[in-house]
Amino acid sequence: SDLQKQEERGELLQPLIFVLLVLCSVLLYFKVSLMDPGFVKSEEEVKAGKSEEQSLVIPQVPSNIKMRRCGYCLVKQPMRAKHCQLCQHCVRRYDHHCPWIENCVGEKNHPLFIVYLSVQLVVLLWGGHIAWSGLYFEQSWDWLQHNILLLMSFLLIVVFTIVVLLLLISHLYLISCNTTTWEFMSHHRISYLRHSELENPFDQGVVLNLWRFFC
């Protein structure tokens, strides 16, 4: 492959950058997997953060929608929170439970999850290019025996690249609308959306939505 040829010639800059990118994606994976996604804490701690909650109230949401008590963990759920039965916790600004990272994606780790997907996509695209550069197709059994592992690696990288790309695009679209995967999929079942005058009461325009999410 191109990367191997560079390494053999002593041109180590690109191989080093690639290895660092892979290492960065692995570290991001563990960070997103192990961090608190925004678990709703006990009632006493919720009261302590009451002023923060009030600053996030959206005027288009009907005032008669009150915080309800979760039937599983018995904490008072803030708006946009949902109980995850796999994590056994209520999660603030719940997006979804990701089996890929074995953790919920919520208020605290959602921005880092997007960064992780972006880095992973760069690694996969570069890895696909590296694998493709090592393939020289010939119609012979001997060629297939020597290149089967590299060919399978390339096909696997293509599949994962498509999955990560679609996932990243869908998340960026939802973020630009200031909605979550759960809200998008279950709009008709969520009280604060079902009773709202607007289809999405949290939408404040693409630029402001992106700014508030990432910054």
Which residues are annotated as catalytic? 98
Tokens standing for residue 211: 């700014």
The count of other CB atoms within 10 Å of the CB of residue 57 is 9
Which helix (H) or strand (E) covers residue 28, if one does?
Answer: helix 13-34
Which helix (H) or strand (E) covers residue 104, if one does?
Answer: strand 103-105
Cβ–Cβ < 8 Å for 180, 174:
yes
Q: Judge residue 21's burial from the number of C-beta atoms within 10 Å of its C-beta, 0-12 exposed, 13-18 middle, 19 or more buried.
A: middle
